[in-house]
């Protein structure tokens, strides 16, 4: 999956050490539910059991040919016609450069247009206000507040549940594309 300078490339076994390095970094793990350092064995097990599961999809985020992070869908549920999504940038040198918005656009387009799902959801720690605001800027709405959702940083942390439905995507996608790619090109 690719749009302009962003590509989402299906995770292969050759990628798992890079993913493990990103995931074990403080810059990424501080926003994850688990603080556990991932071993090579853990990572291989994850790849064999989770990445190949039909209720999830995992992609390497590439920007101008460089691997930057991971995007994923999980909990793909045909009965509910929805799934969850998450992403992280392991290469911190590109944070603040608009990459997250481009990833979000590509994932939204894939979920609503290719998979034809009705709803896309995510959960974000309340202390990660920057990401909450990014999701809201692109049309996600708060649907849930999870108190003491996860033990992190020595205390229970709250999280926000956000979601977008397909009709909202149809309304916002052209405006979102123009904002992200700084163009008036209709999509």
Instruction: Say which CATH number the domain at 48 has.
Output: 3.40.630.30
Query: Residue 148 falls within a domain, yes or no?
Result: yes
Tell me the DSSP string of 127-163.
Answer: T-HHHHHHHHHTT-EEEEEEEEEEEETTEEEEEEEEE
Query: How many structural domains does the chain have?
Result: 1
Query: Residue 8 falls within a domain, yes or no?
Result: yes
pLDDT at 187 over 60: no
Percent with pLDDT over 90 in the chain: 74
Query: Residue 187 falls within a domain, yes or no?
Result: no
Query: Residue 151 falls within a domain, yes or no?
Result: yes
Local confidence band at 181 (pLDDT 50, 70, 90 cut-offs): confident
Q: 179 with 100: CB under 8 angstroms?
A: no
Query: Residue 9 falls within a domain, yes or no?
Result: yes
Residues 12-52 pLDDT 10s? 999 999 999 999 999 999 999 988 899 999 999 999 888 77
Query: Residue 186 falls within a domain, yes or no?
Result: no
Tokens of 125: 């720690």
Query: For residue 124, what pLDDT is reported?
Result: 97
Residues 86-104 pLDDT 10s? 999 998 777 767 888 899 9
| β-bridge mates for residue 61, sequence order | 8, 69
- In this prediction the pTM is 0.89
Structural domain range at position 102:
2-181
């Amino acid at each position: 999956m690719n749009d302009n300078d962003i590509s989402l490339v299906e995770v292969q076994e050759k990628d798992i050490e890079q993913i493990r390095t990103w995931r074990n970094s403080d810059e990424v793990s501080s926003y994850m539910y688990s603080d556990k350092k991932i071993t090579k064995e853990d990572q291989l097990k994850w790849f064999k059991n989770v990445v190949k599961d039909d209720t999830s999809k995992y992609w390497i985020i590439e920007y101008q040919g460089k691997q930057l992070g991971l995007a994923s869908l999980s909990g793909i549920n045909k009965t509910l016609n929805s799934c969850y999504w998450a992403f992280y940038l392991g290469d911190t040198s590109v944070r603040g450069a608009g990459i997250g918005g481009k990833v979000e656009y590509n994932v939204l387009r894939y979920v609503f247009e290719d998979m034809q799902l009705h709803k896309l959801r995510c959960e974000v720690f309340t202390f990660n206000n920057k990401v909450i605001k990014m999701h809201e800027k692109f049309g996600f709405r708060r649907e849930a507040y999870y108190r003491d959702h996860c033990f992190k940083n020595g205390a229970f942390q709250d999280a926000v549940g956000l979601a977008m439905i397909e009709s909202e995507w149809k309304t916002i996608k052209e405006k979102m594309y123009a904002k992200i790619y700084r163009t008036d090109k209709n999509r």
